[in-house]
Structure 1
Amino acid sequence: MSSHVPAGATRRRFIGGVSGAAVAAQLAAAPPAAPHPRDPGPRPGRPRRRPPNIVVVTVDDLGLYELGAYGNTFNETPRIDRLAREGTLFTDAYAAAPLCSPTRAALVTGRYPARTGITDFLRGENAASDKHLSPSVPTVPDVLRPYGYTTALIGKWHLTETYSGPYEQRPGNPYAHGFDEVIASEQKYIADGDYFHPYSFMPDLPAREPGEHLTDRLAAEAADYITRHRDESFFLHVSNYAVHTALDAPADLVAEYEAKPGADAPPNRPVLAAMLERVDAQVGLIADTLAGLGLDRDTLLLVTADNGGAHRPANAPLRGGKGELYEGGIRVPLIAHRPGGVRAGHREATPVSTIDLLPTALDLAGGRPGGRFDGVSIAPLLTGTGRRPERGELFWVYPHFIGRTHPHAAVRSGRHKLVRYFRDGRTELYDLAHDPGETTDIAARHPGLTRALRARLEAHIADVGVLPAPPGARAYPVTELEETFDGGLARWSVLPVTPEAGTVAVDGGRLSVSARRMTHLVFRSDVAPGSDEAVAVLAPGAFAEAGTQDTVFVGVAQDAANYLLFRYHNGLHRVGWDLRVGGRLITAGAEPLDNLDGTVDLTGPGARFAFVLRGTAATAYADQGRGWEYLFTADTGGALDLSDPVVRARYRWAASVRLDDGTVSLDGLTAHRA
């Protein structure tokens, strides 16, 4: 990663609110920037007037109402507020997801997160998966390089789960996507943040001065980058780590906010206000640098956020917050500034999204976005000229658990928004024009509209392929295994995971295990999954009436030390998954599935538990007698890749029982593939 410091630079000179004229004077003395070695240079047919620069400043976890321009009276953001007065403020701008990584993937691709393969925040390297934004997905450099742009990322990337080895060899790193410069981007997992040097997640980044604050450092790097590339078109993403938890800011600035009237009254938070003031100074420096170099009229400057605020009281009157598809989790600030190129003092209510930023940049560069993006160009909204963007609906899909939030999806069409939960198909409908806080569900009053929007959302979910089909003959017509245990265990291997083996019996088509101490047995069939699109369905029998463990499992196993099994604990009505590789249980980075505790009961007639394999992930479905319900998805690609035929051939369909007292039985196991 690169870091450039002009001679004699200090934080006070670069951050401390200097005027545009002062910045212009000091920048004019800097030597012209040398061409970047990876810059292809001018291309044949390039227009004589160079395309405008694009600078996108993202703020992490910034709620809509945290900025003065959106009505906040406690936080002080004068420079951003000035950009809003001089430019266009969007009232109905949305993040593409309620969390950081998927929104960042959407920003650099112009696609819905589900199409990029990134639908949740990416965890640290000890996660079982190996998620990353694949370089096969076209991103900003691929789109804008043909128009003569050089591209850079300063700050947070968070689009890979690999944090070891040489930076440029890590899967999905920004250099692999073609960014020409990557500055102050995390080398280790960002966890809860770190805002003063030395930075725990950037141990190799030297400080430019003692006591350096990270937001200020990104500001100085941005000013330097703009100076170096003032003679060429550039796309610069200044991706802040602030104001993400844990909150931290210069002590003197925090003290100033703590002394303000109302500092202890919700939703005001002095530390966040201090952090946001440094972000505001950063934006001010970027604006002053552009003006000082005479680039402001040739640069579109955008300020936005990757998702709604994590502190729900600060989002009021919007409902919810980070991790939710209610407005508090996805409606974010968006301010656009370009003197002479963006309408001044304008408030724009057209719904727009993160997915629109790259198509807009391409449009301004002279290209035609066409159908290569999910987003549309919002250039006409900025300029007030040309045909307004044509868009039907905006969609969101979040098939994960975070906090107390369950997997859900949403669609906005005009003034109406529908939210659907994956587990039970429950839908809610809101009129955002009259009820932006989503306090009143009007689905029952408008059944026709509810059905229509639900159909559009379900079509979108199917189109992006975010979930595998639930068990059924239509999706999985080929039978691989149909075991009712009438023939005993001739086709099965009994694999003890614990030293205690208990007593195994087969009687009347039912497999039973009895024990008086902890016993865990895996029953491995002789059938390997014939495809990485397949399903195994377990029909549980009776559960133990004693002890603390009465758990059944379904999935695949190689042996007692290598398996991927979904579990159901009847005593707690709890579900989860166990991945064991080489005898080691790998569950780090799992989603908080305790949200499902007490909600699954597989003791009723016809109850079933399913393991649905697709690629490197497997999805759990349950039928409690009312049809299949989505439960959760486990991505194990970083430890077990069942999309690989060689790996898959070593595994067999399997069931398992774990108990410490009493008897647990299984009625049967079936398996089918696409």
Structure 2
Amino acid sequence: MKRREFIKLMSIGGFTLANLELSKEKKKPNIIFILTDDLGYGDLSCYGGTDLETPNIDNIASSGIKFENFYANCPVCSPTRASVLTGMFPDLVGVPGVIRTHITNSFGYLSSIAVLLPKVLKSAGYDTALIGKWHLGLESPNTPNEHGFDHFHGFLGDMMDDYYTHLRHNINYMRLNMEKIDPEGHATELFTEWSIDYIKQKARSDKPFFLYLGYNAPHTPIQPPDEWLKCVKDRNPNIDDRRAKIIALIEHLDDGVGRVVKAVDDAGLSEDTLIMFVSDNGGDLPAGASNKPLHGGKGQMFEGGIKVPACATWKNYIKSNSINERVLLTMDIFPTFCEIAGAKFDHEINGLSFLDSLSGENNEKYDDRFLFWVRREGGLHYGGQAFYASRYKNWKLLQNTPFEPLRLYDLESDPNEQNPLDERHEKFHLLLNELQNHIIRSGAVAWQKYPVKI
């Protein structure tokens, strides 16, 4: 029997050997990674949201896999993005907190030792693009093009003060590669259109591509287009105005995601393209987000701050309507995409590939590893210091400011984190010791550029 016939035979009735082969005879798969900003766990229909409609993101989940226990590496933005692109705990690459315009309020600087995903994928023959939000540096040497992206069309900064002017502190951070640009339009629509243009262009090439699409939505300011807000209010006249606005912004985002997926289909690339969708942290409760049924929200180490919606689709590889319960983090994306691309790297990382989970082979809930979360922040509540969480399997140790004691929870019996256990519990000391070791390791990595001039 010929090898090709054998592989075809083995694929009958399931996604087995033929899928895992990622055959050398075929073009390497394209990878599209969509990262949203502050999307809550309960703010998608497919995650239980009942007052909003997100058919396009829901379709990614139903046509592929939905992750029940996917976590951002931080309850705020920059550190999670650092983990995605390096496969590392963010404080081990110099990004324990949010990178901002003003040095007195900026708590990260991407380390020169960091090796980013696009550089590794380029070595495997990929064209690499970032469209949308970067948030890992505002100037050289920490710009997207200098870290391996062939094409950058988007926003360098943390948040926009206006979705139409795209300014932050009255500064223009919009770029086409290294060139400052001043486009017109809502940021969500711009990033969608630029992504569609990129997909159409790459469809004419034999080279595989990696597209990282970083939407600003639904981060504040909650500024949906008027017509989208009207639709929400017409559908539910009694809805609270704050909630209506964030629903409209999310549904507008969902429409953009749908247009990007349609562009892949129209280009005839759907069988050769993995599309993954994730949020960078929990929803912002004061802005009207929902993290139901989780406790807490953005900025906190409770589940609502770090557990995020995540789903992926890949025709002929991921079975439709798959559900995975494995505890995974955004830092696991780096090794997964590298394995899919056949991209080799020789440095140590913290993440684990979950390619076997995409194929349905691994649905074990826990890997045997300790997990850590950090957030360094300024102001009255934080004082420029860091606070942490650590986890081993179902045991989680956390604090929500540097000035409060650590608390231990058993997430199996207490998923809403309401009943802290006694600090004499053996798992308290186990997690504390591992956390201290992690803090010591991270102490070797600077999070500001030396010398700091204030």
| Aligned CA distance change for structure 1 residues 466 and 246 (closer, same or farther; 3 Å) | farther
Deviation string 1:459-490 (CA, Å, 9 cap, x unpaired) is 222222279xxxxxxxxxxxxxxxxxxxxxxx
How far residue 159 of structure 1 moved from its aligned partner, in angstroms, is: 1.0
Say which structure, 1 or 2, has more relative contact order (CA 8 Å, 6+ apart): 2
Gapped regions of structure 2 (runs ≥ 5): 1-22, 175-179
How far residue 427 of structure 1 moved from its aligned partner, in angstroms, is: 2.1
State the distance in 2 between where 1:386 and 1:248 align.
40
Contact map agreement 1:397 1:461 (CA 8 A) in 2: no
How far residue 86 of structure 1 moved from its aligned partner, in angstroms, is: 1.2
- Count of residue pairs the alignment pairs up: 417
How far residue 407 of structure 1 moved from its aligned partner, in angstroms, is: 3.4
State the distance in 1 between where 2:353 and 2:51 align.
34
1:289 is aligned, of 253, 263, 271, to 263
How far residue 171 of structure 1 moved from its aligned partner, in angstroms, is: 2.6
Contact map agreement 1:98 1:325 (CA 8 A) in 2: yes
Contact map agreement 1:125 1:161 (CA 8 A) in 2: no
Contact map agreement 1:407 1:421 (CA 8 A) in 2: no
After TM superposition, list the pairs within 5 Å mapping 1:252-263 onto structure 2: 252-261=227-236, 263=238
**Larger-gyration structure (1/2):** 1
Q: In structure 1, what residue type is equivalent to 2:31?
A: I
Contact map agreement 1:129 1:637 (CA 8 A) in 2: no
State the distance in 1 between where 2:378 and 2:160 align.
19
2:142 is aligned, of 162, 172, 176, to 172
State the distance in 1 between where 2:290 and 2:106 align.
34
1:464 corresponds in structure 2 to 442
| Aligned CA distance change for structure 1 residues 454 and 424 (closer, same or farther; 3 Å) | same
2:321 is aligned, of 345, 349, 357, to 345
1:227 is aligned, of 200, 224, 248, to 200
Q: In structure 2, what residue type is equivalent to 1:307?
A: N
After TM superposition, list the pairs within 5 Å mapping 1:60-71 onto structure 2: 60-71=37-48
1:243 corresponds in structure 2 to 218
1:400 is aligned, of 377, 380, 387, to 377
Structure 2 residue 273 is matched with structure 1 residue 299: yes
State the distance in 2 between where 1:85 and 1:282 align.
18
How far residue 79 of structure 1 moved from its aligned partner, in angstroms, is: 0.6
Contact map agreement 2:41 2:292 (CA 8 A) in 1: no
Deviation string 1:360-410 (CA, Å, 9 cap, x unpaired) is 001111246676221010101111137979441221122334674673211
State the distance in 2 between where 1:219 and 1:54 align.
16
How far residue 239 of structure 1 moved from its aligned partner, in angstroms, is: 0.4
Q: In structure 1, what residue type is equivalent to 2:40?
A: G
2:6 corresponds in structure 1 to none
1:217 is aligned, of 190, 204, 210, to 190
Deviation string 1:262-310 (CA, Å, 9 cap, x unpaired) is 75359x7111111111211111112111112221121111111111111
| Aligned CA distance change for structure 1 residues 375 and 250 (closer, same or farther; 3 Å) | same
State the distance in 1 between where 2:375 and 2:166 align.
35
How far residue 194 of structure 1 moved from its aligned partner, in angstroms, is: 2.1
| Aligned CA distance change for structure 1 residues 402 and 91 (closer, same or farther; 3 Å) | farther
Secondary structure in structure 1 of the residue aligned to 2:388: strand
How far residue 227 of structure 1 moved from its aligned partner, in angstroms, is: 1.5
State the distance in 2 between where 1:403 and 1:377 align.
39
Contact map agreement 1:427 1:443 (CA 8 A) in 2: no
State the distance in 1 between where 2:240 and 2:58 align.
23
1:309 is aligned, of 283, 286, 305, to 283
Structure 2 residue 453 is matched with structure 1 residue 639: yes
After TM superposition, list the pairs within 5 Å mapping 1:311-326 onto structure 2: 311=285, 314-326=290-302
After TM superposition, list the pairs within 5 Å mapping 1:499-518 onto structure 2: none
State the distance in 1 between where 2:251 and 2:107 align.
36
| Aligned CA distance change for structure 1 residues 68 and 466 (closer, same or farther; 3 Å) | farther
How far residue 126 of structure 1 moved from its aligned partner, in angstroms, is: 5.4
Q: In structure 1, what residue type is equivalent to 2:231?
A: E
Secondary structure in structure 2 of the residue aligned to 1:92: strand
Contact map agreement 1:62 1:307 (CA 8 A) in 2: yes
Contact map agreement 2:99 2:158 (CA 8 A) in 1: no
Between structures 1 and 2, the one with greater helix share:
2
State the distance in 1 between where 2:109 and 2:441 align.
21
Contact map agreement 2:38 2:281 (CA 8 A) in 1: yes
1:363 is aligned, of 321, 339, 349, to 339
| Aligned CA distance change for structure 1 residues 351 and 100 (closer, same or farther; 3 Å) | same
Structure 2 residue 155 is matched with structure 1 residue 194: no
Deviation string 1:523-579 (CA, Å, 9 cap, x unpaired) is xxxxxxxxxxxxxxxxxxxxxxxxxxxxxxxxxxxxxxxxxxxxxxxxxxxxxxxxx
Q: In structure 2, what residue type is equivalent to 1:452?
A: L
Structure 2 residue 353 is matched with structure 1 residue 377: yes
State the distance in 2 between where 1:198 and 1:277 align.
20
State the distance in 2 between where 1:298 and 1:51 align.
8
Q: Which moved more, 1:455-464 or 1:109-118?
A: 455-464
How far residue 143 of structure 1 moved from its aligned partner, in angstroms, is: 1.2
2:430 corresponds in structure 1 to 452
State the distance in 1 between where 2:250 and 2:257 align.
10
State the distance in 2 between where 1:386 and 1:421 align.
32
Contact map agreement 1:100 1:307 (CA 8 A) in 2: yes
How far residue 212 of structure 1 moved from its aligned partner, in angstroms, is: 2.4
Contact map agreement 2:368 2:393 (CA 8 A) in 1: no
2:126 corresponds in structure 1 to 149
Between structures 1 and 2, the one with greater strand share:
1
Q: RMSD across aligned C-alpha pairs, in angstroms?
A: 2.8
Task: Percent identity, please.
Answer: 31
Q: In structure 1, what residue type is equivalent to 2:142?
A: G
| Aligned CA distance change for structure 1 residues 85 and 114 (closer, same or farther; 3 Å) | same
How far residue 191 of structure 1 moved from its aligned partner, in angstroms, is: 4.5
State the distance in 2 between where 1:327 and 1:49 align.
41
